[in-house]
Structure 1
C-alpha cells in the first residue's frame, strides 16, 4: 500500500526540523566566526553520501523537564556512521546551536549508541565535542548520562581507536570523556576545556587567572599535556583526523594499514652519515633523522608542544606503519624527565594495543637530575617507560645513535627490556654514566695530582670511552645485535620489520599489570 501524502509530508516536515538544528541564523553566526556547524563537521569527516544517521528524531519530553515545550531537534547531538577513505567509522557531533549542545539523558543515550556500535562493528569512533555541559533541567539524569559515556569510553579503550575533537566549550565533567580517549585535537581559537573556570578558581582560591592560561589549546598542548594536536580551525581538525586514521587499524584485532610492496626496495642514504654530529655534546634535531627514515619523509608528530625533549609520532618504513620514539638533543639535552616519561610510555602502550611496531632512536644522557624532579616522583614516572616497553609484544627495534647512559639506556628499550633488534652507530656510547662523571669517580686521585687538570680530565674521559663505552663492547655481549653505518639504518630497520611481521609473544595469564601510575 502506498504511503499517504499526509504521512509523507509529516515525515519530511520532521526531517527538515531535525536537519535545520538551531536554524539558519545560528548557522550564519557560526560561519561568521569561522566555525562549522555540527553537521558540517561530519560532512567534512565522511566521504560524500556515506553518512548514515541514527537517532534523527530522538529528543526528550521537554514538558516533563519544565522547558515550556521547547523543541530540541536531535536532542543536541548528531550520531551515525560513514566512510573515511573507504573505511567505516562511527561518529557523533554535539550541536551547540541546539540548547548549547547540553547533555541530557537522550543526548547521552545517542552517544552511547554510537560507542556501542563502534565496539560491535570494530570501527574507530570520532567525537566532536561542543557543549555547554550538563542539561541542568535533567539533574541526576544528565549526570548519569555522563557516567554511561565514561564507562563506554573505558570499555572501548584498547579495542577501537577513539579520537576526540574539542571544537567548542568542554567544561567540568564533560572534559573527562575526551580525556579517556586516545587522541585529542583542539581548535586554537574557538575551544576551551577546563574543570573549573577562572571565575570559580578566583571565588574558591583567590587566584586570578584567565581562560588562556588554563583552558586554551596552547595551554593544554604545551603545559598540561592534555591534548595531542592543535588545529587552526574546524577544517584543519578534520584533516588531522583523516591523517591520524591513515596510520591506525580499525580495531585491536587488525594490523595497521601497511602499504607493503612484494619487493622491498630501499637504498642507503649517505646524507644520514653527516646528519648527526660525532661529538656527543653537539645537539641535532632528531626530527631530521626520523624524516629521513620515514617513507617520503611523511611523519605525523604527536604532542609536538609538550615534553619536547622526546619526540613521538607515526610514519612508515618500507611501507609498514611504525610508531617513532626518539630523544630530542636540542631540548634539555634529550634527558628523560617526568613529562617525557609519561608522554613516551602512553604512546608505547597505544602502539602495543593496536599492533603498531615501535622504532626507538636513542641519544640520552640520563634522567634529568634535580630536587624538583626527585620530589615530584621521577622514579615512579620513569618506571612507566620501563613498564610500557617491557609489556609491549609488538616488534620493537632500537637504534642507538649516540649516548645511552645509565637507567635511561634501559628505559629507551634496550635488548634487556625486550627489544627484538638493537642496532648501534659507530658513534654510540653505552655506559653506566657519561665519561666526565665517571672520570670524577674512577680517577679522582689522578685528577687531584695532575698539574693540568682539564687536559688530564679530557685524556681520561677519552680513555674511558674507548675502554668502557664503545659499542663493540656491548656488541660482544649481545646487548647490541649489529653495528651499522648511519646510511644503512632505513634498510636495516625495514628488513627487520619484514622479518618480524609474524612475531608472536605471550605473557603470563593475568587481568592486567599494575603500571606505576
Structure 2
C-alpha cells in the first residue's frame, strides 16, 4: 500500500519541527559566539550520513506550571548511534536552545535508552552536556531521572568507554554523570561545571568566589582534577573525542585498535642516550623520553594540567597501543604525592579494564615528605598505586631510568607488583633510600670523625650507590629482567609487547577488590 501524500507531508512536517530545535535565532546566536548547536555537535562527531536518531518524536511529560502546551522539540536532547572512523558509537547531545536543555523524565529516558543500547551492543558512548539542570516543573521526577542516568553510568563503567564533553553549563547533580564516566573534556570559554554556584556559596558560607575560581575548565583541569582535557571550542572537543577513540577498544571484550605490522622492525635510537643528564640531581622532561619511545612521537597526554609530577597518556610502540605512566623529574623531582597517586592509579585501572598494556617509566625519589601530605592521607592515596598495579592483568613493562627508591619503587610497578618485564638503564639506582640519606644514617660516626665531612659524605655515597643501589645488584637477584642502553629501550619494549599480546592472567573469584579510596 502506497503512503498517501498527506501522511508523508505530516511526517516531514513533524520531523522538520523536531529537528529545528530552538529555532534559527538561537542557532545564529550560538554561531556568533563560535559555538555549535546540539545537532551540529552530533554531525561533527559522526561520519556523514551514518547517524540514526532515536526519540526524535518524544513528547515531554511536564503537565504543570504552563508547560502542558509548550513545544519541547525532541525533549531537549538528541540521541542515537552512528559511525566514527568506521566504528559504531552511541551518543547524546543536550540542546540548550530547547528549554535550556533541562532534564526531565522523557529527556532522561532517551539518554538511558542510548546507554542501554551501548551496553548491549558493546559500543562507546559520547555525551555532550549543555543543560540548565533538572527541569523544576517535574519536581522529584527530575531527580529520579538523574538517578536513572547515574545508575547506568555505573553499569557501563569498565564495559564500554564513556566520554563526556562539557560544552555549556553542567550544574548541581548534573555534574555527577560526567564524573562517573571515563574521560571528561571541557570547552575553555563557554562551559561551567559546579555543584554550588558562587551565589549559593556566598549565601551559605559567606565566602566570596567567582565562577572562574570554582567552575571553569582551568580550575577543574589544574586544581580539582575533575576533567582530563581542555578544548578550545566545540570542534576541538570533538577532535579530542576522535583522538581518544583511536586508542580505545569498543568494549572490554575487545583488544585496543593496535596497528601491528607482520614484520616488526627493531632499531636502536641513539637520541635516547643523550636525554638523561649525567648529574643524577638534574631534571629533564620525561615527555621527551616518551616521544622517542612512541611510534612517530605520537603521544596523547591525559590530565596534563593536574599533578604534573606524573605523566600519563596513550601512544603506540611497534603498533601496539600502550598506556604510559611516567615520573616527571621537572616537577617535585618526580616524587609521588596524593594527587599524583590518584591520577596514576585511575589511569592504570582504566588501561586494565580496556586491555591496554602499561609501560611505566621510573625516576622516583620516593613519596613526597611533609606534614600536610601525611595529614591528608598520603598512605591511603599512595596505596591506590599499589592496588591498581597489583590488580592489573594486562601486560606490564617497567623501565627504571634513574632513581627508584623506597615504597615508590614498588608503587611504580616493580616485579613484585606484577611487572612482566623490568628493564633498567645503567644509570638506574634501586634502593631503600637515596645514597645521601642512607650515608647519614649508616655512617653517622664515620662522618662525625672525618676532617672534611662533605668530601667523606660524597665518597661514602658513591660507595653506597655501587654496593647497594646498583642495577646489577638487582639484576643479579632477578628483580630486574635486563639492563640495556637507553638506545635499546624502544626495541626491547616493542619485542616484549609483541610477545605478551597473548598474556592471560586471572585473579581469585570475587565481586571486586576493596581499593583504599
TM more than 0.5: yes
- 1:302-341, aligned counterparts within 5 Å? 302-341=302-341
Render the CA deviation track for 1:363-409: whole Å, top value 9, x for unaligned: 00000000000000000000000000000000000000000000000
What TM-score, normalized by structure 2, do the two folds share?
0.99
1:394 corresponding residue in structure 2: 394
2: CA distance, partners of 1:338 / 1:234? 32
User: Are the aligned partners of 2:260 and 2:319 in contact in 1 as well (CA < 8 Å)?
Assistant: yes
2:265 corresponding residue in structure 1: 265
What TM-score, normalized by structure 1, do the two folds share?
0.99
1: CA distance, partners of 2:281 / 2:265? 35
Unaligned runs of 5+ in 2: none
Q: Secondary structure at the match of 2:363?
A: strand
1: CA distance, partners of 2:62 / 2:316? 51
1:509 is aligned to 2:509 = yes
1:227 corresponding residue in structure 2: 227
2: CA distance, partners of 1:5 / 1:476? 84
Deviation of 1:68 after TM superposition, in Å, equals 4.9
Q: Secondary structure at the match of 2:16?
A: helix
User: Are the aligned partners of 2:397 and 2:421 in contact in 1 as well (CA < 8 Å)?
Assistant: yes
Deviation of 1:3 after TM superposition, in Å, equals 1.4
Q: Secondary structure at the match of 1:407?
A: helix
Number of paired residues?
A: 517
2: CA distance, partners of 1:279 / 1:59? 69
Deviation of 1:66 after TM superposition, in Å, equals 3.3
2: CA distance, partners of 1:85 / 1:320? 18
- 1:14-93, aligned counterparts within 5 Å? 14-64=14-64, 66-93=66-93
Q: Secondary structure at the match of 1:131?
A: coil
2:246 corresponding residue in structure 1: 246
- 1:193-232, aligned counterparts within 5 Å? 193-232=193-232
1:383 corresponding residue in structure 2: 383
Q: Secondary structure at the match of 1:323?
A: strand
2:167 corresponding residue in structure 1: 167
Deviation of 1:65 after TM superposition, in Å, equals 5.5
User: Are the aligned partners of 2:62 and 2:137 in contact in 1 as well (CA < 8 Å)?
Assistant: no
2: CA distance, partners of 1:68 / 1:135? 13
2:477 corresponding residue in structure 1: 477
Deviation of 1:61 after TM superposition, in Å, equals 4.1
Unaligned runs of 5+ in 1: none
- 1:117-156, aligned counterparts within 5 Å? 117-156=117-156
2: CA distance, partners of 1:442 / 1:64? 78
1: CA distance, partners of 2:429 / 2:68? 73
User: Are the aligned partners of 1:248 and 1:354 in contact in 2 as well (CA < 8 Å)?
Assistant: yes
